[in-house]
Amino acid sequence: MIASHEHLELGQFIPFIYHHNMLVDPARMNAFRDAIDFAVPFGSRVLELGGGTGVLSFFSAQRAAKVWCVERNPELAEAARRLLAMNPGTERVEVTQADAFDYLPPEPVDVVICEMLHVGMLREKQVPVLASFKRRYLEKFGAPLPRFVPEAFIQAVQPVCQSFDFGGYHAPVPSLQDPSAPQPRTRELAQPVLFQTACYDEALPDDCTWQGEIILACDGQLNALRFITKNVLAIIEAEQRSIDWFSQYLILPLAEPLSVLAGDRVSVAFSYTMGDPIAALTPSVKLIS
Ligand SMILES: C[S@@+](CC[C@H](N)C(=O)[O-])C[C@H]1O[C@@H](n2cnc3c(N)ncnc32)[C@H](O)[C@@H]1O
């Protein structure tokens, strides 16, 4: 049922017009540029899966000897070739229009960059694409695997009281939030609770299944859950820090809001497959005491 709706959504293939939103986002651009500067050695070979306009391949080409940039959407592959040609150092970038689920580079690479990221690891195929890539890469070239940018992801969930009033019209609809912007429509009822972590160079999960208890810190109407995904783009061990980028937060209204008091405990459960459409995430939230 859910899978049959997928072709009606924007899904994993983001039309050209939406790429401006990604190019203009300073948090995303700065974090990826810094991570690439850290992770891509001079003279190395880089593969980018899901190249879009080619910007991350451009960053990589300032250091790498060769960059293979793979993009499935023909309109974007063509745009990437045209835009890259306007920028210095990009004679080292080769754009291929192909599905990242099938593609392998002609020779081993040092770094793989993949930004098919969406909160919850939903909608875009980041996790299944990289799981498939790792399996096929090891079959063709053997170990070691390349370094991955991002290196890991960390996911959390938070109970909130969300205003769904739009000019007097009550509409509890899902929404995305800019993590760096104030959110006057959202009142946090507890701290975020971690539900999943994974490293791209280890076995990747096929799904996300979680059941846990959350103790509420405030009174209010629990009418939505906020989902938070932190992408750890690069871990700089020597400096004991990482370069991180948060996907947009997802606010998901609950079918049955609960009136809660500080100290109440709620049981939260959900299960979905990595890369599923957002509609596949249907959490159950029950008051325990
Ligand atoms: C979130 S955009 C990021 C684009 C670019 N890397 C950037 O950072 O600006 C993800 C890109 O991956 C492409 N994509 C999605 N699924 C793909 C697949 N299976 N194979 C190749 N490209 C894919 C989309 O068309 C889109 O251009």
pTM of the model: 0.95
Which CATH topology does 2-115 take? Rossmann fold (3.40.50)
pLDDT score, position 1:
40
Fold of 152-287: Hnrnp arginine n-methyltransferase1 (2.70.160)
Ligand 1 atom at minimum distance from 114 CA: 6
Contact 37, 149 (CB under 8 A): no
pLDDT of residue 11: 58
How far is Cα 111 from Cα 51, in angstroms, rounded to an integer?
Answer: 14
Q: Which atom of ligand 1 is closest in space to residue 100's alpha carbon?
A: 20
Quote the CA–CA distance of 93 and 58 in Å, as a whole number: 8
Q: Tens place of pLDDT for every residue, the chain, 289 residues?
A: 444 455 545 556 788 889 999 999 999 999 999 999 999 999 999 999 999 999 999 999 999 999 999 999 999 999 999 999 999 999 999 999 999 999 999 999 999 999 999 999 999 999 999 999 999 999 999 999 999 999 999 999 999 999 999 999 999 999 999 999 999 999 999 999 999 999 999 999 999 999 999 999 999 999 999 999 999 999 999 999 999 999 999 999 999 999 999 999 999 999 999 999 999 999 999 999 6
* Closest to 210 in 3D by CA, of 150, 139, 162, 282: 282
The full set of domain ranges for the chain reads 2-115, 152-287
List, as one string, the DSSP characters of 158-209: EEEEE--EETTEE----EEE-TTS--TTEEESS--EEEEEEETTSPPPSEEE
CA of residue 180 to ligand 1 center, whole Å: 23
Q: Residues with beta carbon inside 6 Å of ligand 1? A: 12-14, 22, 50-53, 55-56, 70-73, 76, 99-101, 115-116, 125, 129
